[in-house]
Structure 1
Amino acid sequence: MLSKLSWKSVRSRYYHYVVYLIGMIFAVAIYYSFNAITYDQVLLNSVGSEVALKAFLSFGALLIAVMILSFMFTINRFFFTRRAKEVGIYQLIGMKKRQIAGLFFSEIYILGLAALVIGIFFGIVFSKLFSMILIKVMVLNVESAVNFSIPSIVDTVLVFLLLLLMVSLHSAYLIYSYRLSGFFKQEERPIIEAKELTIRQAILGVLGILLIIGGYVLSLNVVTFLFDPLLGTIGFLLLPFVLIGLCGAGTYLFFKYTIHIFIHLFIKKKGGYYQGLSMLVAGNTRLHLYKGSNTLTTITIFIACSLGFIGGSATFYTLGIDNVNAMNPTDFIVNRALYESVESSIGLQGALVDSVALQFKSVGSQYHYYVGKEKTTSEDPINLLSLTNYRAYQKINPYLKTVNLSDDEQAILFVQRTQSLLRYDSVFQLVGGATLKATETMADYLGDPLLRYNRPTLVVTDELFDSIDNGVPYSLMAFNVKRSQRSELSEQLSKKFAKEWQFPIYYDIIQSGGEVTGYVSETSKKTGSEAVDTEKEGWTLNYTDRQTDLVYSRKLLGALIYIVLFLGIFALIISGSVLMVRQFAEAERERSTYRLLERLGIPQKQVRRLVYQQNIIIFFLPMLLGIFHAFFAVHLFNQLVPSSGYRLAYISCGLLILIYILYYVLTSRIYCWIVENDELSGGK
């Protein structure tokens, strides 16, 4: 009999459990697919050992499990709250708490096992699609297959049985910690006067807007704050936590109080408040937003974090590929001394497309740069490259821009993109008395700085370059090969020549009396009659290979995009599901109000319009605010590490809107069905 009563209660609210079941099925399918790929040896072998794909996917599966557990705990607590009176009735008729817990356990495990079986089925069916997506983003040349993996099935079953056990223990805790009197306590409904706005609400509402705007303004000027002498480096490091605090507190106040200001302005509009059901819309909306402010705040932050992580991962991908272009703008760059050996050993004659010899000079100098407010003086070598040589290199390097110099005192400074937070002073004093002024600073696409002793590079006029004779000249060969032979030549080069540090330089540079003196030499002066104790040294890498770095970056960053994208989409689905279940509960609470409207002669069409108007605010307000938060978060990151990789973030925003539109339409229709269905009244 008790089982029948429990089943009747569950059946009366089956739409809650359907949403929960669908979310669980989707979670199991994703978890299984992630896990199955870790057992796909063909795919893992094609990725290679340089990218720990299995560890990436295992970590992603762990995060999915944590998100699923949070989702299950949230929905489980919600279900328990809705069935509090039912549990109280069970106790009154003599049922022990362990028996009540047993009923809840059976429901949890029936739903969980159903989700597990169906989810694994869909995971097996769609594993080919998941594998194809991973292969696509990692640019692999391998065939995908349906991943029917017994070890993956076992792992998935064990993990979800553990999750179900934890949820069962959570239910037991709720049952044993509640007192009988609490089960029959009337639900408190906050009293909100729809036509009144208190001074406290107005102040807190305005404060919510100011906190959010303040967070946005800080995010737009993060670089300015970095170089602000009053803020300092410690203050800048604390800035992200300040931004999170401002936006989090502002979001809570927005849903709790700010929205009441807008509703108050609406109801003050003459004629608008008493038209149709506007009064009821305003009152119900204020009540729902006030009661659900915690949930809506959490969902808004959840959406912002999901979109922010997706946008950030897309930015990382763009930066990674751009870094390959900066480090390897041509297919190969090798030290001139190594070039002849490379040419003879791997047969470049038939594969060579174009090449250029780059003549550099490593010259002693003094220059200044800033990290935040702190000024640092550097007395180190810099690299000089003649304008004519640069223009010859530009013909085979598609990433170099055209530059011009008007006199021998001007120069163009090339800075690594990873040093975007550094500000270089424009004046460079060279050993020997020459002073250069950098009239323009450009991103360094000359090749890996490790090939140039990892020092800044200046492009100068040919006359100045030829006149300097106190540095160390060295040469690099940059060349491109036929597309069809890149992989083969790259493999041969890596087998026959190991990357190593070569051709050291020794230097000791000082500034005294406004003049820079010292030396940069190919031989050390630490020994002999001119021994120098303060001498330093630098080394250069012997070669770089674009194909190897490009393949590695695509594999690593592709795996990152794959994991973050699926985690983000799953997070969006979870947030929509929580809102959906919450609105179902509101429908049950408001059923009597809507039925009264029908008895008063309000047409059903108008009642349904009221439902859609309320739900559009509940669903789309946190969605839009979350999108705004994510936009400013990604913009902040872009100021620190410039990138144009926003396409995936925009696609994710579009996907979020589609998901929420679907949830909104389904929720509104089921909401109408709940308040119009007489058979559900007994389940209230």
Structure 2
Amino acid sequence: MLGRLTLRNVRRSSKDYIIYIVTMAIVAALMFAFNGMIFSKDMKDLYREFTIFIVLVGLASFFIVMIVIWLIHYMVNFMMEKRSREFGTYLLLGMKKKQIAAIFRYENMILGFISLLAGIIPGMFFQIAFTNIFYSIMDVEYRISLDFSLWNLLLTFGLFLFAYGLALFRVKRKFNKMTINSLISMDKHNEIVKNERSTWKKLLVFISVAYIILFNVLVLTSKMNIGSMWFYVAGLVAAIYLLYIGLSSFFISYIKKQHKGIYKEANIFVFRQLSSKIKTMRFTMGTLTILFTTVLFAWMVVMMFADYQNKELERSHPFDVLVFSDDTKYDFHNELSIITDDSVIENQHIYKIYENGTDHINQYLYEHVDGTWQNDQGSSYFGHDTYMGISDYNYIRSMLGYETIELDDNGYLIQCIERVRPYLEQLAESESLLGNQALSYKGTFTDPLSQNGMNGADYLIVVPDTFLKSMRPYYSLLAASIKGEAPAHLSERLLSIRSSLLNEAGEYKYSIQPGQGSNNIISYSSIVLVKDNDIVEVGLVLVSIAFILAYIGIVFLCAALTILAVQQLSDSSKYKFRYSILKQLGLSRKETDRVVLKQLGVYYLCPFVISIVLSMFIGLFASERFVYYTGIQAGIFWYYLLAAFVFTVLYAVYFIVTYVGFLRNIYH
């Protein structure tokens, strides 16, 4: 008997909460796909350091499980409230609270199992598609194969079971506290709008908006440091929740003042519905707004990393092989022997970087360039200013296919990254870059030259070879061009030669103060750079982070939009009689549709607009910093607009589904 009742309730719930089931199926599919990639032999073959990917997926799974627990917990409470009269009736018929709680738990577990089953097959295809994308981005041939793992199925099932078990943990206790009267009246408490004074609550709207503006100003002017950032972020979260508390009172006040627009096209009905809904959902609406803002940030980072991987990653590694040594007499014989074991060297050059005991160029950049740093753990620049002879400079330029540069005995050139160019040119024009009048400034070049701790850090001063006689060799470099693609483990083999010079952390023990450059976002430095190896390694990290953030963003967005949709669809069935009254008052079906569209539009627009405003200026600032630090050629609006576009499309899909379902419920 109870089993038949449970199954009947499951069939009814599957119709009423189809959006919730579809969302959980999407979560299950994505979870199965990413978990499957952990156990995938293809992914292990692609990654040299597969642990990185496992850690990223594990971290993402933690956040996903947390949001799924929150979603399930919210939906369980919501369904309990909407079905409270039904449960009260069960008590009147003689059922025990323990039995009702068990039925409710089984219903939710069955719904979860249905969602899991519905997500397994799509999850398999997602796994194949994602793996293929990884291989395509890395330009590696991939043969599509069904890489099914029983461990993946068990892990996904275990995570779902854990989420549902934790969310349903207190159901029995809640039912034990319920009485027949409380169950019968539970679904009515949200309909009661207290006649309270709302003047002070209206002020919360203006206070919250003022703080949000202040927060954005502090971000845009870079007045927020790391120490105070968390304090301001906590204030921003509080401002979001207070804003929704104030909005409800704002709508009620607007109705009471009886403005002209109130009685136009059933606007009073719309405002009344909205004020009641926001009043009862203000904490939930605040949480959804925070989730939407998080999604926008996550997807903006996805766009950044994807664009960098496509445009800048290969440019930042122009040399086939580049090896560093702080021993100026080092001959690189062993390195050349390893390279020639499995490769053919087309061109090679051993050269030196020089210094003259000064560091005033470095100090000038420390003072003027954003992002430079100097502490006990390291620094942006070397201990001395770095110089190169014109013959070495032209030789490595020719290796990379750049045009050679003519330089007379009385001039010098600047080779640097684009970010520091204006500062060095300003210093050169003041005739103080070299600290004397011996040489005159002849120009600046910003062609990619591995200036992340190899050919200088951010810059090199190129001088005539005769001028090097007054300087000291600082460190040595080997640059090599090889025919075809580099062997997969060439970088590791080259590093193994000097394993005795590595410390316990596996880091090279320099005899000089090394520099890494001022890029604090995407920076890769080592004593050995092998283009083909490093592009794959760094590219996989970037793609993995982008995939994980996209994964988190989709789940967060779908979970938040599900709550918005379910709330409205439930109300459409519950308050069907209110819309029938509109018909009796003379509104045509087209006019009623317009009222529903306006009601849902304002309801959906509230968190949408607030999250867009919250993220816009911070997002533009983050985009500007990303372009500045990486040197990528992109507009600062581009990344945010792409993220906002994807966000808007998915948001619109859920809105349309809700609107269509709402109309179906009130007319049938």
Common fold, TM-score beyond 0.5?
yes
Task: Supply the distance in 2 between the matched residues of 1:85 and 1:270 (Cα, whole angstroms).
Answer: 39
Deviates more, 1:391-400 or 1:239-248: 391-400
Task: Supply the distance in 2 between the matched residues of 1:634 and 1:401 (Cα, whole angstroms).
Answer: 41
- Measure how far apart 1:11 and its partner are: 6.0
**Distance change >3 Å, CA 544–CA 157, structure 1 → 2:** closer
The answer to whether the Cα contact below 8 Å between 1:218 and 1:243 also exists between their aligned partners in 2 is no
The answer to whether the Cα contact below 8 Å between 2:413 and 2:444 also exists between their aligned partners in 1 is no
Is 1:665 matched with 2:656?
Answer: yes
**Distance change >3 Å, CA 265–CA 52, structure 1 → 2:** same
The answer to whether the Cα contact below 8 Å between 1:137 and 1:559 also exists between their aligned partners in 2 is no
Task: Supply the distance in 2 between the matched residues of 1:442 and 1:259 (Cα, whole angstroms).
Answer: 59
**Distance change >3 Å, CA 672–CA 254, structure 1 → 2:** same
**Distance change >3 Å, CA 24–CA 440, structure 1 → 2:** farther
Q: Give, as a single letter, the amino acid of the residue that structure 2 aligns with 1:627.
A: I
What residue is the counterpart of 2:470 in the other structure?
469
The answer to whether the Cα contact below 8 Å between 1:405 and 1:411 also exists between their aligned partners in 2 is no
Task: Supply the distance in 2 between the matched residues of 1:202 and 1:404 (Cα, whole angstroms).
Answer: 70
The answer to whether the Cα contact below 8 Å between 2:491 and 2:529 also exists between their aligned partners in 1 is no
- Aligned 1:84-483 pairs, distance under 5 A: 84-185=84-185, 186-189=188-191, 191=193, 199-222=199-222, 225=223, 236-258=225-247, 272-316=261-305, 328-334=317-323, 337-338=330-331, 346-347=339-340, 358-367=351-360, 368=363, 369-370=366-367, 380-386=383-389, 390=393, 393-397=396-400, 412=414, 414=416, 445-447=448-450, 449-451=452-454, 457-462=459-464, 466=467, 469-472=470-473, 475-482=476-483
What residue is the counterpart of 1:513 in the other structure?
none
The answer to whether the Cα contact below 8 Å between 2:48 and 2:537 also exists between their aligned partners in 1 is no
**Distance change >3 Å, CA 450–CA 323, structure 1 → 2:** farther
Is 1:676 matched with 2:667?
Answer: yes
Task: Supply the distance in 2 between the matched residues of 1:402 and 1:213 (Cα, whole angstroms).
Answer: 51
3-state SS, counterpart of residue 461 of structure 2: strand
3-state SS, counterpart of residue 295 of structure 2: helix
Is 1:610 matched with 2:595?
Answer: yes
Q: Give, as a single letter, the amino acid of the residue that structure 2 aligns with 1:117.
A: L
Deviates more, 1:596-605 or 1:10-19: 10-19
- Measure how far apart 1:576 and its partner are: 1.1
- Measure how far apart 1:138 and its partner are: 4.8
3-state SS, counterpart of residue 358 of structure 2: strand
3-state SS, counterpart of residue 319 of structure 2: coil
- Which deviations, in whole Å up to 9, do the C-alpha atoms of 1:410-436 show, x marking residues without a partner? 874847989x9xxx9999999998899
What residue is the counterpart of 2:554 in the other structure?
569
Task: Supply the distance in 2 between the matched residues of 1:363 and 1:347 (Cα, whole angstroms).
Answer: 35
**Distance change >3 Å, CA 431–CA 282, structure 1 → 2:** closer
- Which deviations, in whole Å up to 9, do the C-alpha atoms of 1:115-164 show, x marking residues without a partner? 22222233235432233234334544332322332232233333333333
- Which deviations, in whole Å up to 9, do the C-alpha atoms of 1:283-325 show, x marking residues without a partner? 3333333333222221111011122123224435556788855
Q: Give, as a single letter, the amino acid of the residue that structure 2 aligns with 1:122.
A: P
Unaligned ranges ≥5, structure 2:
502-509, 516-525
Q: Give, as a single letter, the amino acid of the residue that structure 1 aligns with 2:31.
A: Y
- Measure how far apart 1:651 and its partner are: 4.2
- Measure how far apart 1:212 and its partner are: 1.7
- Measure how far apart 1:667 and its partner are: 0.9
Is 1:624 matched with 2:609?
Answer: yes
Aligned-pair identity in percent equals 18
Is 1:635 matched with 2:632?
Answer: no
- Measure how far apart 1:636 and its partner are: 3.8
- Measure how far apart 1:100 and its partner are: 1.1
- Measure how far apart 1:457 and its partner are: 4.5
Task: Supply the distance in 1 between the matched residues of 2:231 and 2:318 (Cα, whole angstroms).
Answer: 40
Task: Supply the distance in 2 between the matched residues of 1:3 and 1:28 (Cα, whole angstroms).
Answer: 26
Larger Rg: 1
What residue is the counterpart of 1:500 in the other structure?
498
Unaligned ranges ≥5, structure 1:
226-234, 504-534, 678-684
The answer to whether the Cα contact below 8 Å between 2:383 and 2:512 also exists between their aligned partners in 1 is no
- Measure how far apart 1:466 and its partner are: 0.4
- Measure how far apart 1:26 and its partner are: 1.6
**Distance change >3 Å, CA 664–CA 405, structure 1 → 2:** farther
What residue is the counterpart of 2:571 in the other structure?
586
**Distance change >3 Å, CA 272–CA 10, structure 1 → 2:** same
**Distance change >3 Å, CA 297–CA 391, structure 1 → 2:** farther
- Measure how far apart 1:638 and its partner are: 4.1
The answer to whether the Cα contact below 8 Å between 2:389 and 2:464 also exists between their aligned partners in 1 is yes
The answer to whether the Cα contact below 8 Å between 2:350 and 2:476 also exists between their aligned partners in 1 is yes
**Distance change >3 Å, CA 364–CA 607, structure 1 → 2:** same
The answer to whether the Cα contact below 8 Å between 2:410 and 2:438 also exists between their aligned partners in 1 is no
3-state SS, counterpart of residue 446 of structure 1: coil
The answer to whether the Cα contact below 8 Å between 1:138 and 1:556 also exists between their aligned partners in 2 is no
What residue is the counterpart of 2:522 in the other structure?
none
Q: Give, as a single letter, the amino acid of the residue that structure 1 aligns with 2:609.
A: L
Task: Supply the distance in 2 between the matched residues of 1:287 and 1:654 (Cα, whole angstroms).
Answer: 31
- Measure how far apart 1:41 and its partner are: 1.7
Deviates more, 1:102-111 or 1:323-332: 323-332
3-state SS, counterpart of residue 99 of structure 2: helix
- Measure how far apart 1:261 and its partner are: 5.7
- Measure how far apart 1:107 and its partner are: 0.9
**Distance change >3 Å, CA 188–CA 324, structure 1 → 2:** closer
- Which deviations, in whole Å up to 9, do the C-alpha atoms of 1:73-120 show, x marking residues without a partner? 111111112122322333333322111112112212221222222222
- Measure how far apart 1:440 and its partner are: 10
Task: Supply the distance in 1 between the matched residues of 2:409 and 2:235 (Cα, whole angstroms).
Answer: 50
3-state SS, counterpart of residue 470 of structure 2: coil
**Distance change >3 Å, CA 413–CA 297, structure 1 → 2:** farther
- Measure how far apart 1:358 and its partner are: 4.9
CA RMSD of aligned residues (A): 4.8
- Under a length normalisation based on structure 2, what TM-score does the superposition of the two structures give? 0.78
Task: Supply the distance in 2 between the matched residues of 1:549 and 1:340 (Cα, whole angstroms).
Answer: 22
- Which deviations, in whole Å up to 9, do the C-alpha atoms of 1:446-474 show, x marking residues without a partner? 3265446x7674415438x7065242265
Task: Supply the distance in 2 between the matched residues of 1:37 and 1:75 (Cα, whole angstroms).
Answer: 30
3-state SS, counterpart of residue 364 of structure 1: coil
Task: Supply the distance in 1 between the matched residues of 2:29 and 2:535 (Cα, whole angstroms).
Answer: 32
Q: Give, as a single letter, the amino acid of the residue that structure 2 aligns with 1:665.
A: I
The answer to whether the Cα contact below 8 Å between 2:248 and 2:276 also exists between their aligned partners in 1 is no
3-state SS, counterpart of residue 476 of structure 1: strand
- Under a length normalisation based on structure 1, what TM-score does the superposition of the two structures give? 0.76
What residue is the counterpart of 1:551 in the other structure?
536
